Amino acid sequence: MASVKFRAMGKNDPVNLNVRFYHNKIDCSAKTNIFILSKDWSNKTFKVKQNVDENLKIEIENKIQVLKDSILKQFSIDYPKGNTIDSTWLTEIINKCHDKPIEGVDESVYFLDFLSNYIEQSKTRLNPKTGEIISPRTIQNYTTTLKRLQEFETLQGVRLRTKEINLDFHKKFTTFLKVEGKYSNTLVEKYISQIKGFVKEAKVSGYEISTEIESKKFTFKREETLDTYLNLEEINKIFNLDLKEKDKEYLTDARDLLIFGVWSGLRVSDLKRVNEFNISENRIKILATEKTKATVEIPIHPQLKEVLKRRGNVLPVITEQNFNKNIKTICELADINEIILGSKKDPDTKRKVRGFYEKYKLISTHTCRRSFVSNHYGKIDDRTIMAITTHKSYSQYMKYVKTTLSEHAQNLEDYWNNK
């Protein structure tokens, strides 16, 4: 059984108590940085003597008990893993223990305490860039990151201090996400990026942080995204699809909304409130988009004009779940079944799996916006496209350009043939 004993070593007062930890063949010791007068300590009972001032006695005994509990707790974590148990290990526990708040005292040094408070305050906090209250979606993203960190703490048997968010944490947390969580590189990068932002917020609030947060190694490489888009030929197939003939008229709403999406470049959050916009004969005018609060004026494509005319300028509003499901069926009916490389969620693991799939299986609500950008890229200037899509960053805009490998190859082949 593991044992922890404290002794007063030396004659120079105050004495720095020495702690000895032993278990089977393990036997190590270290200075505790808990100081006491030699006359107040008994090396026979390994305790503070009874005749010592009561307040001082309680204070010393509390420090000893906290350190003892920390050593035994860390041993129960490290020993089964085969980690080295020696004086260095013991010293690290002592150093951490002295930075640990006593129960009932300010615990703001803990990272998850800070993060929980930050999330709560964000519910009524203004975004300085937009002047609007932080969106529920952003709050949900914060909460999801907090949940991953809580899972990590439970597995590791630790409580993270803000200054412990360093490269060692980075290594352990990314391993946890990839091995235990089986998350994609892209999602791991998002978690790391968000945590880095939280630590910077903590620094602004006066918390002690590790300088390693600024290291170039404190990041994670994303996978190359395999999102697909609908090209002009495929959009025409969808537009001309006779749903009545195929006895699928119930898909008309989803098809019309899909046509609206691929020719407007709007986010799905804006497609949900499409009937709030000012739609005239030639323009769609939006006072403030849902995400960026930008004012947008979008020309109406001929196919969209026909849809609006047929529907009396009132477009359908359907749930995102049904929209996602129905547009896959529509694309299948339109024979958009080329085998392409993509990522598809596994229903059992709930994680995306890279592989070759029929294209219609990879279509989603986000396909609309990617299709708009990809079909116009290189044909009109980027600034014009970004004005419609309300992209503020060129790098973010370029992520929506989804020219396929075969299309790149065809462009080069056409160039050679023309020459």
Domains and CATH numbers, the chain: 3-98 (no CATH), 111-214 (1.10.150), 232-418 (1.10.443.10)
Instruction: Please give the average per-residue pLDDT across 377-389, as a whole number.
Output: 89
pLDDT recorded at residue 403 = 64
Q: Residue 221: pLDDT band by 50, 70, 90 thresholds?
A: confident
Check if the beta carbon of residue 75 is closer than 8 Å to that of residue 2.
yes
pLDDT recorded at residue 314 = 87
Q: Which amino acid is at 57?
A: K
pTM, 2 dp? 0.59
pLDDT at 101 over 80: no
Q: Which amino acid is at 4?
A: V
Name the 3-class secondary structure at 318: coil
Range of weakest confidence among 105-114, 119-128, 258-267, 339-348:
105-114
* Length of the chain counted residue by residue: 419
How much is the mean pLDDT over the chain?
A: 87
pLDDT at 197 over 90: yes
CA gyration radius for the chain?
A: 31
List, for residues 36-81, the tens digit of each pLDDT value: 888 888 888 889 998 888 888 888 898 899 899 989 988 998 888 8
Q: Look up tokens 């352990």; give the residue.
A: 172
What percentage of the chain exceeds 70 in pLDDT? Answer: 95
> Helix 232-239 to helix 252-264 angle, to the nearest 10 degrees?
150
